[in-house]
Amino acid sequence: MRIDIITIFPQMLEGFFGLGVIGQACQDGIVQIFVHDLRSFTTDKHQQVDDRPYGGGPGMVLKLEPFFRAVESIRKELTVEPRVILLSAQGKLFTQKIARELAQAPALVLLCGRYEGVDERVLHICTDEISIGDYVLSGGEAAAAVVAEAVARLVPGVVGKHESLEQDSFYSEGGATPPLLGPPQYTRPPEFESLKVPEVLLTGDHRRIEEFRRRAALEKTLKNRPDLLKG
């Protein structure tokens, strides 16, 4: 899979994808991640990427021409058609289900907004508009990092053991069972300052352990995300 990210602050993402399982996947060639400076796709000597909004109002809006040129430049390097995604507070809420869908695509292009947003006409070159939550960030860089990591770790070969993915929160989303938060996890020591690991996890009885984890996941979901269990 190839992921291209277009931003006016590429420095914000430098190093983020160089570590952990994503960094290893990039080293192994399973995933390719490229970060592009939007200013590189301007044509004026000041490399202007923003302008005042029509109709008035505070702040500045990112211009559409640099985004069009950037996406066109990336398309010329590809032999497949990418999913082009605008990261926006106005977009569809990002979920594990969407992450799994995007992981099936051979290439993604992530567009990072900034200031008061981007010219609405940028959506004409996008296949998706995605938000990572009901809150507002100063720009799309953090959102791009979230989407890229959530999607990349689902690409076969990125995470060493498939079982690790099966225990993720929301793994069952879209399946026959309701999406659940992941069960609580414990490691050594078995007791610390009177805080004990649940005894069942020390028994080696896999059936009982699985039952415990399922019940604990349901309890955690009911406590923290009861909306997931509606219906």
Q: How far is CA 165 from CA 156, 172, 190, in A?
A: 11, 10, 25
What is d(CA 27, CA 141) in angstroms, rounded to the nearest whole number? Answer: 22
Q: Are 9 and 16 in contact (CB under 8 A)?
A: no
pLDDT digits (tens, 9 = 90+) for 183-224: 999 999 999 999 999 999 999 999 999 999 999 999 999 999
Query: Above 50 in pLDDT, residue 176?
Result: no
Q: Are 34 and 109 in contact (CB under 8 A)?
A: no
CATH value of 167-229 in 1.10.10.10, 1.10.10.60, 1.10.1270.20, 3.30.70.1710: 1.10.1270.20
pLDDT digits (tens, 9 = 90+) for 74-125: 999 999 999 999 999 999 999 999 999 999 999 999 999 998 899 999 999 9
2-152 and 167-229, same CATH topology:
no
What is the architecture, at CATH level 2, of domain 2-152? Answer: 3-Layer(aba) Sandwich (3.40)
pLDDT digits (tens, 9 = 90+) for 153-171: 999 999 865 555 555 655 5
**In this structure, which long-range contacts are made by residues 221-229, counting pairs with CB atoms below 8 Å and at least 24 apart in sequence?**
221/178, 221/180, 221/181, 224/181, 225/181, 228/178, 228/179, 228/180, 228/181, 229/178
End-to-end CA distance of the chain: 36
Query: Above 90 in pLDDT, residue 14?
Result: no
The pTM (predicted TM-score) of the whole model is 0.87
Q: What is the pLDDT of residue 177?
A: 63
Q: What is the pLDDT of residue 164?
A: 56
Q: What is the pLDDT of residue 171?
A: 56
Query: Above 90 in pLDDT, residue 150?
Result: yes
- Domain coordinates of the chain in residue numbers? 2-152, 167-229
- In percent, the amount of the chain with pLDDT more than 90 equals 84
Q: What is the pLDDT of residue 81?
A: 96
